[in-house]
Chains A and B, each alone.
Chain A
Amino acid sequence: MAYAYLFKYIIIGDTGVGKSCLLLQFTDKRFQPVHDLTIGVEFGARMITIDGKQIKLQIWDTAGQESFRSITRSYYRGAAGALLVYDITRRDTFNHLTTWLEDARQHSNSNMVIMLIGNKSDLESRREVKKEEGEAFAREHGLIFMETSAKTASNVEEAFINTAKEIYEKIQEGVFDINNEANGIKIGPQHAATNSTLAGGQGGQQAGGGCC
């Protein structure tokens, strides 16, 4: 299908915070209470519209387990946006955010838009991390913040779309070099026809440095 831009996203965070469920809710609009553990990386895509333009989101859902960390790192490069997810009912997933953020900043391009997501907001009775704490963390590190629930679908769309809006604004401001695919942005076929500077860019993303 024709699209104006393609944005590459990556979803990161501790194991069991609901990364795969967020993706499933966003792409398929359904919730699966018991989900397989993600092995390596999984993948989803969806079309959204921003400012009247079709934008394809290509989302890489990574495994949260420690053993896959080295593999996850190779996906940071070439991502335009990252969703950093924690579980509001588990304090430790919030405490690990700094490690994740360091990892992301170190291995991604500096313009990557990072959105902090406190997931499982439907489980208010078991909440361990206050909303204010999440907001404070986001403010401190310059992230966008949102609490979502993959189960009730609250804020899930908004989380993905707001990140895309932020990236889109950055493109308009000229912060992103859209002709460099390593930034995680690709111009779609309908745009490329008018953009003569883009050489016939077929072939995969030049992302990551192999798997080991």
Chain B
Amino acid sequence: MMKGARALVGWCCRSELLSERPLTILLRPRSSETLGARCPNTSRFRARPASRHGDCRYKRAPARAVRPLTRNRISRRLVRLLAQSMNILASFLLLYTREEEAFWLLVTVCERMLPDYFDRRVIGAQVDCSVFEELIRELLPHLAERVPDLTALSSLSLSWFLALFLSSVPFRSGLRVLDCFFCHGAKIIFHLGLAVLKSNVEDICTSADDGQSLMILTRRRQRRGGDLVCWTSALNQTTGLLASAYEVRAGGNDSDAYVQRRICKFNERACSAEVRRPDGRAAGKEEIEAQDPGALGPRGYGERERDGARSCRDEGYRHDRV
């Protein structure tokens, strides 16, 4: 661990990250509070307002997602790295992995999967946005024809890429996106981005200005915190999008078909497991829509996903721990 940490610190010195604002982003529990807002059932994420300024400052760290990181010096160094959107990814990882595993996953993401994404100038993400624009022109020519200036779309894709969609989709769907990301690498975020655009292509083409098309693409997030129906439908949408993201892949092979099947399966199971009847049996779709929103939460994700996780385990990503 120490050796690896030293390597990591060396890497951050090179990428000039150590001079970033120290110990701030994750320690200021915004990120986890955000998660808390998204999964109302998890008390482990809830922040308590500090008594001194009861207004907008949250002094007390909201438990598990933050505390392990403050415990030792290596973690402090790790936390310094958490610039920009990395805090979102880090909080997701810390929910399902131990501190050290989260550390190595972050190293993997920063160094191998998304190089130059989280450095001072987010160059990697900017480059990928340009690549994404090219992909739009190539694969969605209809859209590119109607919207010749893709600047607005690429500004949106920047936040998709930097936060791996975690800030734009509901919590649970975000986990699914992460699974796919660790299984298939960075290309899946391109696929998902294209799938999102593809499913909205009609609306975007008929919108009056680029502002309106951005509204269309972000409306899912704006509905966040609404009723259960919109939660499950957003979940359905995202898993559906993931499935079609795999369809976008040219020349998909057997393993892709397998993943696609699993995603569809997950879709069904997630819906029925999301809300349980009083007797413990899984609820039907109609009942889900009738139940109250408090029934949602990521608890139980581990058990349900155990066999799914097995297929990912070779990749070193373990998400079966709650």
How far is A32 from B16 in the complex, measured between Cα atoms in Å?
33
Q: For residue B187, give the distance in angstroms from its CB to the closest CB of chain A.
A: 20
How far is A212 from B149 in the complex, measured between Cα atoms in Å?
14
> B1 contacts the other chain (Cβ, under 8 Å)?
no
Known: A39-B163, A67-B121, A211-B126. Contact between A205 and B214, CB under 8 A?
no
Residues from chain B with Cβ under 8 Å of A74 in the complex: 151
User: How many B residues touch A, CB cutoff 8 Å?
Assistant: 45
B34 and A36 contact, CB distance less than 8 A: yes
B218 and A43 contact, CB distance less than 8 A: yes
Pick 11 A–B contacts, CB within 8 A, sort by A.
Answer: A33-B55, A34-B56, A36-B30, A39-B159, A40-B162, A41-B155, A43-B218, A70-B121, A203-B147, A211-B133, A211-B155
Residue of B133, B211, B212, B214 with most partner-chain A CB within 10 A: B211
> B85 contacts the other chain (Cβ, under 8 Å)?
yes
A43 and B148 contact, CB distance less than 8 A: no
A38-49 vs B, Cβ < 8 Å mask (1 yes, 0 no) = 011111010000
Closest to B88 in A: A36
> B83 contacts the other chain (Cβ, under 8 Å)?
yes
Q: For residue A124, give the distance in angstroms from its CB to the closest CB of chain B.
A: 12
User: How many A residues touch B, CB cutoff 8 Å?
Assistant: 34
B33 and A34 contact, CB distance less than 8 A: yes
Contact of A66 among B120, B123, B127, B151 (CB under 8 A): B120
A211 and B129 contact, CB distance less than 8 A: yes
Residues from chain B with Cβ under 8 Å of A204 in the complex: 147-152, 209-210
How far is A114 from B58 in the complex, measured between Cα atoms in Å?
33
Residue of A65, A203, A204 with most partner-chain B CB within 10 A: A204
Quick one: which of B35-89 are within 8 Å of A by CB? 37, 47, 55-56, 58, 83-85, 87
> A178 contacts the other chain (Cβ, under 8 Å)?
no
Known: A204-B147, A211-B154. Contact between A67 and B30, CB under 8 A?
no
> B94 contacts the other chain (Cβ, under 8 Å)?
no
Closest to A40 in B: B158
B215 and A45 contact, CB distance less than 8 A: yes
Closest to A150 in B: B56
